[in-house]
């Protein structure tokens, strides 16, 4: 993984449909143990695409997804280990501070907190 990905506030995550078409999404990420981790709602398309094809591309980006660096290819998987997911949530809270906490609180209010999913990206 490149240092620019480790430091990135946002990454442009490209997942692939079964027919090979790309779908790009800007997401928050955190680097841990040589891998990138993201979290999202489990009903989102990117989670379904990661489960189906595992292939991903990422680049550091701005909040709207405009790439700010070079692209890297890799694979993704949805995390099923609760202890690892909790480590990721703590690292995201540390990196994004009040913004993460606000988003987490809103998810709790809407009873969507149990639907969150963590994905590991091996780049």
Q: Where are the domains of the chain?
A: 3-122
Question: pLDDT tens across 56-102, in order?
Answer: 999 999 999 999 999 999 999 999 899 999 999 999 999 999 998 99
Distance CA 93, CA 115 (A): 18
Closest CA to 30 of 107, 94, 123: 94
Q: Which residues have C-beta within 8 Å of that of residue 106, sequence separation ≥ 6?
A: none
DSSP assignment letter at 87: H
Percentage with pLDDT > 70 across the chain? 98
d(CA 10, CA 28) in angstroms, rounded, equals: 5
- pLDDT recorded at residue 1: 81
Q: What are phi and psi of 24, to 5 degrees?
A: -100, 140
Residue 93 and residue 101 in contact, taking contact as beta carbons nearer than 8 Å: yes
Instruction: Give me 5's structure tokens.
Output: 């990905």
User: Is residue 41 pLDDT above 90, yes or no?
Assistant: no
* pLDDT reported for residue 109: 82
Given this model, what pLDDT does residue 113 score? 65
CA dist 88 and 32 (Å) reads: 8
CATH of domain 3-122: 2.30.110.10
């Amino acid at each position: 993984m490149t240092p620019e990905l480790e430091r990135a506030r946002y990454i442009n995550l490209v997942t692939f449909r079964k027919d090979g078409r790309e779908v790009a999404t800007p997401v928050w990420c955190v680097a841990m143990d040589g891998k990138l981790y993201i979290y999202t709602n489990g009903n989102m398309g990117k989670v379904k695409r990661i489960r189906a094809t595992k292939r991903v591309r990422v680049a550091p980006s701005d909040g709207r997804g405009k790439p700010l660096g070079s692209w890297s290819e890799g694979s993704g998987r949805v995390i099923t280990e609760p202890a690892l997911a909790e480590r990721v949530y703590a690292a995201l809270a540390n990196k994004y501070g009040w913004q993460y906490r606000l988003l987490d609180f809103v998810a709790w209010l809407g009873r969507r907190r149990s639907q969150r999913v963590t994905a590991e990206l091996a780049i």
